[in-house]
Structure 1
């Protein structure tokens, strides 16, 4: 993809997906899980001769935060001293391991709730969107076909949009356990005081209904908004069934704002019965819904609400089918495959050895959730005009998401107004703290050990590679340099002698060079076909770019890797937000590839 003048920026980028999955020898062409288990047992018995540990020395290059979930932002310290949890290290290592070994990218089944998420790379869920006030494109056409009836003008000659959705009250009948839409009427009310709309954003003025018979409803605040809606004249007996599937579909939208969530805005129990005057109803909330052939297709708070894409993530070819292979890859072989076998790797907590102390406790910039609805950032794009989105069949995702490093002085603290229900306190460890830990391994083959060591031995001339761990990666936290040493344990002959030559206990341990094992895995990579090898090298180059600590010294690095915001400068270290930058979201500027971002700063 060529560089563009109009390009998005982000605190993250992507390592492209591989062109194939490298199968572990354990797979052996197995046709079912029973055969895979037999192959696993046989392979480990024949080739699993190597046991020992990888000694890790972890130095924090920036402040690092791994929290406990408390409101005061305490660092994870189960016995009073901060540690880097083994689970955190495991997650980081496994992610990089899958990249360097061309791992499968499997999706969680859509019907799994609370399942083994660690064995899946993509949650096969629905994504939701709305395109009100967006630049016209194929996605706005999809949305308009679903919810826009027509455009019209009001009494002042201003343009207004008329929805296909119908006004109603969503209720729950405590007697039969079902949800229903009770039909109602609605109308617009116009105000000149935009402060009034902003003050009431996300509210329902229930008390007004008792005085006027009209229920004012306010959705999110927008700069150009001049209207809100009022519901009135409900018929509690004229109702349309809302199936459990449609209710579940509404609740599946993980990115909906809490202030627009009908299940948080509703009146419940006695309040609902008093509002409706009907003892059947223990839940009531005003909303809009799409009626299709006498059934409720979807619903939302405002007249133009968020709807879901027709496909789930795994239903439109967004992840190449070849990468969804059930074959045993190297991640399955070493980290375990829950339904078949356990892990042969054991990650110890890394304990503090050199302390530089903590940063001061402070509210942090917003720790935002990933927003894959920004398809211009998360999906491969050919250009910036005809954008692929989640309804574009066979449009691939960008790959594995990793965060750019930032300088140690990158400001993670929030300035300005603090929102108690959104913002949180952090007390990160300072840069310069050193931790030591181990990854113990058991019964690995030479190739498997080489694959694991590859994570810590990436070829990187003139680079200093660091990893990202913990929370706050997008606001400059979490950069860690890891140095690794290999120690083998002779479990066959090592314990035949109780004491070593120096009189100490014989641990049967020996620090060993990594070279032979790395070569064993490199020989596997060398067997890739021409196309697959080219894609592998592209992925590894992107990985090196994203891990390179020296990139933070590039000119304008903070500006080129800043997280885009909508008028909130708090999350940026840049002093000014240009008019062009304000258009980044509205016009859906495309995110450049990692090598484009990295190479732009070389020579500056």
Structure 2
């Protein structure tokens, strides 16, 4: 597994969330859990009381340390169900008497996540959908996008959507460019960068004269003279220095089948952008059937890309890569987050969390269905509060974090913008791990959106105009709740895992509900353990067999097992800490759960858009909480005079015995010279080295680079017995 290296401060991102690194080895329980009665598989024995296991309950006293919001369910109204969008239903989860409730399902999800992390379980579910990208700048990612869009003779084509039964296809046609200056003379206007094409002109029927794929003359009136062709005007939005739009024309060709997976992927939430929803509303064009804002309709013009290497005779006979509304549409990456999991986390087997909480076959997991042995009841507010809730508010826009932000979501061993690992297959990236939110205390004015009264009035109306904000009425801070967890047939290890997730260290707190980036949802949980003595219960009429128990002994047994597993797996340790916190990844967990020493709010703030464009790298929880970098980026080596290259350099010189410690050590940044050999290939030369190194990304060296240019490199692999070191070109250095 790769180690994430913290960036220097100038390249460090901030976010209200962070990641707990995945375990190197999963703690499997497929063959049973060791007990004093031998290995047990209690998940196979729901119909009996197993010796060596425990049943009982854990009473929970919960205190809201911050406002808390969990949206209530859809309610029945006088004339049917509440039809409002979820974002417009600001009511929290309440019982029939109006008391706030934390649903058992929310508590279950919160505790299961912690059991997965503490119990060295697989991270799941992990999407198998490939994220999208569209990068047209001069970066490495931009070059990769252009290479995928135009490979040899393949390039985006145009066509019309057709429906044939339950299947969809694209009927190819000819595409011509039309200059915006010509359209402006016809009354088409192009305003600001975010303008939406007017449906007075979008997809309008036109007649054109085309010369070399360029519209020379255009008319909105029917023309029957020779040389005129009927077509459809396609307006694709604004971009800097954009000078043309498109006309689709000509007779349709052989239809290109759209695989169902690609059709569904186009309509996923992460693909349909806000711009598309606004530019393609349900009621446009008039008389057409569009199932939802931003969705596609029959007859709509689209661009598409096919490649021979994507052909699958059954699933994708035409090799369709993807399609979109713009010529440079968004492409799916090579890999999905699931593809970037370590193989250990894809293996078949049963981990501790699945054994305790159960699983459903075929639903985001492998293996047979298993019934869980842990049940969570709703936690209901207690006390005599006259007012449980804060006033209704419109918070600042809460946009969910997107896995496409690879500087945050993927392990990065360099913070150089052009050396970041992405979802491209050749990058060999890995996912960061389990995502959690920091505890936050935002200053006044950071939670509620500006122009609060106007937004409240609009969002509470029957036809709100605002499409981005939401309503919420949070539960007040300091409200207390009471709930219960019931369990049956848990081994010492499993009960210890459950208690370790419920009873956190005194300085820590849990996080639950919505609006976590705004600081909502921090809660303190105080558990009380009760075990049932089955023998006592069934030997007497009036004895239920319940007895109080100390959670600490079970937590300690669980900690011993996890420490032994961590050492055997070679997990990095923190020698100065004790117990579970001495395991580095769990030390990060407790840093993120720490309520008393939570980071200053600005250290966990959502970055402005400009900083996202700079592709800053999200540091480890340790660096955020303590400013101590883990696996810091090595400082650049001091500049030294360049060594004169050999007069005839036909190939990199062979590896020779080192008389001094090589500077070409994995993970280091080093400066050197670029020289071309007799075959015109780039070779690296370093003043302090007797050998060269293999440049893994020589294609990324700018074409205008001259022989002898000084450059910065990142060492990917140190030299081995019969192999040269492997380095990545980072940038050209100014003299």
- Tell me how far 1:519 sits from its aligned partner: 1.9
For the 8 Å contact 1:265–1:285, the answer to whether it is kept is: no
Structure 2 residue 234 is matched with structure 1 residue 199: no
**For 2:61 and 2:25, how far apart are their aligned partners in 1?**
33
**For 1:132 and 1:36, how far apart are their aligned partners in 2?**
57
For the 8 Å contact 1:202–1:220, the answer to whether it is kept is: no
**For 1:220 and 1:453, how far apart are their aligned partners in 2?**
55
For the 8 Å contact 1:270–1:282, the answer to whether it is kept is: no
**For 1:129 and 1:379, how far apart are their aligned partners in 2?**
15
**TM-score (structure 1 length as normaliser):** 0.78
- Tell me how far 1:398 sits from its aligned partner: 0.7
Q: In the alignment, which of 344, 348, 352 is matched to residue 322 of structure 1?
A: 344
**For 2:47 and 2:588, how far apart are their aligned partners in 1?**
33
Q: Does the residue aligned with 1:172 lie in a helix, a strand or coil?
A: strand
Partner of 1:538: 584
- Tell me how far 1:26 sits from its aligned partner: 4.9
For the 8 Å contact 2:161–2:297, the answer to whether it is kept is: no
Partner of 1:97: 115
**For 1:323 and 1:549, how far apart are their aligned partners in 2?**
30
Q: Does the residue aligned with 2:88 lie in a helix, a strand or coil?
A: coil
Partner deviation per Cα, 1:362-382 (whole Å, 9 max, x = no partner): 222222233001111100000
Structure 2 residue 480 is matched with structure 1 residue 434: yes
Query: Residues 582-601 of structure 1: matches in 2 within 5 Å?
Result: 582=610, 584-600=611-627
Structure 2 residue 551 is matched with structure 1 residue 518: no
**For 1:202 and 1:309, how far apart are their aligned partners in 2?**
32
Shift in alpha-carbon separation, 1:24–1:301, aligned structure 2, 3 A: same
Query: Residues 44-83 of structure 1: matches in 2 within 5 Å?
Result: 46-68=50-72, 69=86, 71-79=88-96, 80-83=98-101
Shift in alpha-carbon separation, 1:369–1:203, aligned structure 2, 3 A: farther
For the 8 Å contact 1:9–1:563, the answer to whether it is kept is: yes
Q: Does the residue aligned with 2:298 lie in a helix, a strand or coil?
A: strand
- Tell me how far 1:311 sits from its aligned partner: 2.8
Shift in alpha-carbon separation, 1:221–1:422, aligned structure 2, 3 A: farther
Shift in alpha-carbon separation, 1:340–1:38, aligned structure 2, 3 A: farther
What is the aligned length?
530
For the 8 Å contact 1:377–1:591, the answer to whether it is kept is: yes
Partner of 1:247: 263
Shift in alpha-carbon separation, 1:84–1:357, aligned structure 2, 3 A: same
**For 2:431 and 2:285, how far apart are their aligned partners in 1?**
44
Q: Does the residue aligned with 1:298 lie in a helix, a strand or coil?
A: strand
Q: In the alignment, which of 127, 144, 164 is matched to residue 146 of structure 2?
A: 144
Q: Does the residue aligned with 1:171 lie in a helix, a strand or coil?
A: strand
**For 2:139 and 2:42, how far apart are their aligned partners in 1?**
56
Partner of 2:102: 84
- Tell me how far 1:532 sits from its aligned partner: 3.4
For the 8 Å contact 1:202–1:259, the answer to whether it is kept is: no
Partner deviation per Cα, 1:83-110 (whole Å, 9 max, x = no partner): 00000000000001110000123xxxxx
Q: Does the residue aligned with 1:352 lie in a helix, a strand or coil?
A: strand
- Tell me how far 1:239 sits from its aligned partner: 4.1
**For 1:233 and 1:25, how far apart are their aligned partners in 2?**
61
Partner deviation per Cα, 1:376-420 (whole Å, 9 max, x = no partner): 110000011211111245421111000111116563222248562
**For 1:168 and 1:319, how far apart are their aligned partners in 2?**
37
**For 1:299 and 1:180, how far apart are their aligned partners in 2?**
9
Partner of 2:12: 7
Query: Residues 422-571 of structure 1: matches in 2 within 5 Å?
Result: 422-458=468-504, 460=505, 464-499=507-542, 506-528=543-565, 529-534=567-572, 537-552=583-598, 554=599, 557-566=600-609
Structure 2 residue 433 is matched with structure 1 residue 399: yes
Most deviating of 516-525 and 79-88: 516-525
Shift in alpha-carbon separation, 1:23–1:301, aligned structure 2, 3 A: same
**For 1:40 and 1:25, how far apart are their aligned partners in 2?**
11
For the 8 Å contact 1:169–1:234, the answer to whether it is kept is: no
- Tell me how far 1:242 sits from its aligned partner: 2.5
Query: Residues 252-271 of structure 1: matches in 2 within 5 Å?
Result: 252=268, 254-260=270-276, 271=287
**TM-score (structure 2 length as normaliser):** 0.65
**For 2:148 and 2:592, how far apart are their aligned partners in 1?**
40
Of structures 1 and 2, the larger Rg is shown by: 2
Q: In the alignment, which of 376, 381, 390 is matched to residue 352 of structure 1?
A: 381
**For 1:349 and 1:184, how far apart are their aligned partners in 2?**
60
Partner deviation per Cα, 1:30-67 (whole Å, 9 max, x = no partner): xxxxx997983399854453111111111111111100
**For 1:334 and 1:322, how far apart are their aligned partners in 2?**
20
Partner of 2:329: 305
Query: Residues 79-228 of structure 1: matches in 2 within 5 Å?
Result: 79=96, 80-105=98-123, 120-133=124-137, 136-137=139-140, 139-147=141-149, 164-173=155-164, 177-190=167-180, 195=191, 198-200=194-196, 205-206=201-202, 208-209=204-205, 211=220, 215-219=232-236, 224=240, 226-227=242-243
Higher-RCO chain (CA-CA 8 Å, sequence separation at least 6): 1
Shift in alpha-carbon separation, 1:409–1:485, aligned structure 2, 3 A: farther
Partner of 1:503: none
Partner of 2:393: 362
Shift in alpha-carbon separation, 1:177–1:314, aligned structure 2, 3 A: closer
**For 1:564 and 1:441, how far apart are their aligned partners in 2?**
42
For the 8 Å contact 2:199–2:285, the answer to whether it is kept is: no
Shift in alpha-carbon separation, 1:297–1:16, aligned structure 2, 3 A: closer
Q: Does the residue aligned with 1:549 lie in a helix, a strand or coil?
A: coil
For the 8 Å contact 2:199–2:284, the answer to whether it is kept is: no
Which consecutive unaligned segments of at least 5 residues does structure 1 have?
30-34, 106-119, 151-162, 274-280, 500-505, 567-581
Shift in alpha-carbon separation, 1:330–1:178, aligned structure 2, 3 A: closer
Which consecutive unaligned segments of at least 5 residues does structure 2 have?
73-85, 207-219, 222-229, 290-295, 309-317, 361-367, 456-464, 574-579, 630-735
